[in-house]
Structure 1
Amino acid sequence: MKLTGAALQRFLAEPGGEGHAVLVFGPDAGLRREHIARLRKAVAGEPADPFSVSELTGAQIKDDPASLADEAASLTFGGGKRFVLVRDAGDAVTAIAKDFLDNGPGEAFVVVDGGDLPARSSLRKLFEGHKTAGAIACYHDDQRSLAGVVRDFFAEAGTGIEREAAEFLAAHLGGDRQLTRRELEKVLLFKGPGADPVTLEDVTLCVGDSALLGLEDLAMAAAGGDLPGLERGLGRCFLEGSNPVSLLRAVARHFQRLHQVAGAAAAGSSVEQAMKGLRPPVFWKAAAGFKAQAASWTAPALTAAMERLLEAEAACKRSGAPAESLAARALLEIAANAPGRRRRRA
């Protein structure tokens, strides 16, 4: 069965029930690790008893098909349920996993980390359709889901956060959940738990020069036709492990905001007035450049750029596609055709 929404949250808090095995998959490796850690804590406690936790790899159970059932049947010294994690699993172990699920996984709780499995994956279809198993999809956060992550993080820490500060973080954080939490922890450490609410000034001081705001620089370079700056930004982001889809979405958000300002200006507002209506507000360091871009880009050109970004994202998600190259090519094409670059060359 597919686990989503409230059912997923209940399962993460109290895993098991009728099912004793779950597949965790998707492109967001940080979110996969977060879910697996929550499941391990719920089953084996914190800190986990090392004698109640075991790990296998997909290669190990492929070489020894009985190893999964053997680990799941092993007893713990202190009693309680055993937690078994299978890493780097793929379609090569589907038949073994099916035999294991059909014959009953026993009392152990088994988590299979399948990595980024495509929709046609046989392992994914097995867990999504099996009556005694579950499947948890881990996709990159978009701005809407990030807003919830930000609010929940500070609520759990007992610290308030002002609306503009939360909107700024949601707009500038990347799609990888682990990197997001790292930046939120930085803000919390700076502010201190239980103190006054986190303000916009607090978050810009904490993350304004971070790698996450490097996404803002990347978007500004793409929309401004700054090819050298874009190439440097891409190199930095890929070196730091940024997901290509996250980069494309960050640039797409920038173009959406430009489109919003351009539309307001066409309706009679000034660019400055339209920019004041943006939420979150434009980062002050980028305000002058953003204003220039909003004045130079036309609505049809912005729409075409956003369509190109969507095409690149879809291409990146296809199995085997060189995602970094596809993302870089799309961004460089947009930058090469940016109106600001055409004027400079003229």
Structure 2
Amino acid sequence: MKLSPREAPGYFRNPDPKRPGILIHGPDTMRVAARRQEVLAALTGPEGEAEMRLTRLPASDLRKDPAALIDAVKAQGFFPGQRAVFVEDAGDGAAPALSAALEDWREGDAVIVVTGGQLTPRGALRKLFEGHPGAYAVGIYDDPPDREEVARMLAEAGLTRLSKDAEEALGALGRELPPGDFRQTLEKLALYKHGDETEASAEEVALVAPQAPEAELDELLDTVASGRREEIGPVLRRLSAQGVQPVTLCIGAVRHYRRLHQAASDPGGPGSGVAKLRPPVFGPRRDKIVRQAQGLGVVKLEAALTILTDTDLQLRSASTAPQAALMERALVRLAMLASQGR
């Protein structure tokens, strides 16, 4: 039978050993693996002990030896406690062996936990589990964790003292990051705050959060948007020495100024606009973007985007002008635009 999205988290935390098994499937292997790990830990106990009561079977092996699954399900272990059999990366070809194991399953046998990729609704494997009266099937998709699940993950990581801004920052990260990355971020934050009784802040969340690929351009873009044109040359030379191309700089600048324009154009003001940015920004970086959007305003930002669009066209054209010089000139013009009227 199918588990609904509302019922699934409860089962993952507390699987029923009187049910023969569960199929966990979905296109995101990381999300599927996280749920599988949660179910197996709840069934077989803490890490270390779990391996004593867990049998792993690649789905590809079941075609050669279908009886291996029934043998593993019926086997009596040396250690007391609930046992589980994990069948990894199953497809429709594994359905016959799994069907036989489910039919032969009796209370007290090992629970069968199966993972699969993006399975079609009419495929044999989904039909088997969704139509079975005792087994479960659940699809894992890109739905972000709800508030209750985030709170549970925070409690598991030992993060009980958070400022309101930190809670909001972590909630936004939970919606944006893959589950594995989000869990690692919580673990890093918990390690960072180990022995510290003060509340975790949004700035500390920003310190441990995964950095976006364009993070190395942030210093230059912040310098330009703040109107500090005398600092552009040294930063630009350093980035050039690192192999950052003028076209890459232009793409990053366009993205940054579009975000500023989005924030400045928000009816609720730049602060409200920044809160709606995706991916989200936190801490000092959020404050910088709010200040830049307020200082530049919509009119200047539209002029800046025009400069960048023209520069982008030149960089991609057959022009023989030095690309680095074109980009530096555009950045200086943007910085002069930011300093006007101050």
**TM bracket, shorter-chain basis:** 0.5 to 0.7
Q: How far apart are the structure 1 equivalents of 2:297 and 2:121?
A: 38
Write the letter of the residue equivalent to 2:202.
L
Question: Is the contact between residue 28 and residue 139 of structure 1 (CA under 8 Å) also seen in structure 2?
Answer: yes
Quote how far apart the aligned CAs of 1:147 are: 5.2
Write the letter of the residue equivalent to 1:63.
K
Q: Tell me the residue number matched to 1:92.
A: 93
Write the letter of the residue equivalent to 2:309.
R
Quote how far apart the aligned CAs of 1:60 are: 0.5
Q: Tell me the residue number matched to 1:34.
A: 34
| Structure 1 residues 117 and 230: alpha-carbon distance in aligned structure 2, compared to 1, 3 A threshold | farther
Question: Where does 1:1-346 land on structure 2 (aligned, <5 Å)?
Answer: 1-5=1-5, 7-16=7-16, 18-46=18-46, 47-48=48-49, 50-104=51-105, 107-142=109-144, 145=145, 148-156=148-156, 157-172=158-173, 174-192=176-194, 195-207=197-209, 212-214=210-212, 217=215, 228=248, 262-264=265-267, 272=270, 274-275=272-273, 284-285=284-285, 287-288=288-289, 291=293, 341-345=308-312
Quote how far apart the aligned CAs of 1:146 are: 6.2
| Structure 1 residues 164 and 66: alpha-carbon distance in aligned structure 2, compared to 1, 3 A threshold | same
Deviations, residues 40-62 of structure 1 (Å, cap 9, x unaligned): 23322223254422111111001
Q: How far apart are the structure 2 equivalents of 1:133 and 1:258?
A: 52
Quote how far apart the aligned CAs of 1:228 are: 1.9
Quote how far apart the aligned CAs of 1:72 are: 0.6
Q: How far apart are the structure 1 equivalents of 2:275 and 2:58?
A: 51
Write the letter of the residue equivalent to 1:154.
L
Question: Is the contact between residue 15 and residue 42 of structure 1 (CA under 8 Å) also seen in structure 2?
Answer: yes
Write the letter of the residue equivalent to 2:153.
F
Question: Is the contact between residue 26 and residue 137 of structure 1 (CA under 8 Å) also seen in structure 2?
Answer: yes
Structure 1 gap ranges (5+): 233-250, 299-337
Q: How far apart are the structure 1 equivalents of 2:159 and 2:289?
A: 37
TM-score (norm 2): 0.64
Write the letter of the residue equivalent to 2:39.
L
Deviations, residues 88-129 of structure 1 (Å, cap 9, x unaligned): 211111232223323436621110111343445431232122
Question: Is the contact between residue 140 and residue 177 of structure 1 (CA under 8 Å) also seen in structure 2?
Answer: no
Write the letter of the residue equivalent to 1:228.
T
Quote how far apart the aligned CAs of 1:69 are: 1.0
Write the letter of the residue equivalent to 2:38.
R
Write the letter of the residue equivalent to 2:248.
P
| Structure 1 residues 343 and 115: alpha-carbon distance in aligned structure 2, compared to 1, 3 A threshold | same
Q: How far apart are the structure 1 equivalents of 2:247 and 2:138?
A: 39
Secondary structure of residue in 1 paired with 2:24:
strand
Write the letter of the residue equivalent to 2:59.
G
Question: Is the contact between residue 43 and residue 83 of structure 1 (CA under 8 Å) also seen in structure 2?
Answer: yes
| Structure 1 residues 139 and 193: alpha-carbon distance in aligned structure 2, compared to 1, 3 A threshold | farther
Write the letter of the residue equivalent to 1:185.
E
Write the letter of the residue equivalent to 1:202.
E
Deviations, residues 55-88 of structure 1 (Å, cap 9, x unaligned): 1111100111111111111111234332101112
Query: Which has more radius of gyration?
Result: 2
TM-score (norm 1): 0.63
Secondary structure of residue in 1 paired with 2:128:
helix
Deviations, residues 203-240 of structure 1 (Å, cap 9, x unaligned): 12333xxxx2316759x99xxxx9525999xxxxxxxx
Write the letter of the residue equivalent to 1:135.
A
Question: Is the contact between residue 158 and residue 193 of structure 1 (CA under 8 Å) also seen in structure 2?
Answer: no
Quote how far apart the aligned CAs of 1:20 are: 1.4
Question: Is the contact between residue 92 and residue 123 of structure 2 (CA under 8 Å) also seen in structure 1?
Answer: yes
Deviations, residues 115-158 of structure 1 (Å, cap 9, x unaligned): 3434454312321222111123222353xx26554433333415
Write the letter of the residue equivalent to 1:197.
E
| Structure 1 residues 127 and 227: alpha-carbon distance in aligned structure 2, compared to 1, 3 A threshold | farther
Question: Is the contact between residue 261 and residue 298 of structure 2 (CA under 8 Å) also seen in structure 1?
Answer: yes
| Structure 1 residues 176 and 117: alpha-carbon distance in aligned structure 2, compared to 1, 3 A threshold | farther
Quote how far apart the aligned CAs of 1:276 are: 6.5
Quote how far apart the aligned CAs of 1:163 are: 2.4
Deviations, residues 308-327 of structure 1 (Å, cap 9, x unaligned): xxxxxxxxxxxxxxxxxxxx
Secondary structure of residue in 2 paired with 1:152:
helix
Alignment: residue pair count: 273
| Structure 1 residues 31 and 201: alpha-carbon distance in aligned structure 2, compared to 1, 3 A threshold | same
Secondary structure of residue in 2 paired with 1:113:
strand
Q: How far apart are the structure 2 equivalents of 1:149 and 1:229?
A: 39
Structure 2 gap ranges (5+): 222-245, 314-342
Q: How far apart are the structure 2 equivalents of 1:117 and 1:169?
A: 32
Secondary structure of residue in 2 paired with 1:88:
strand
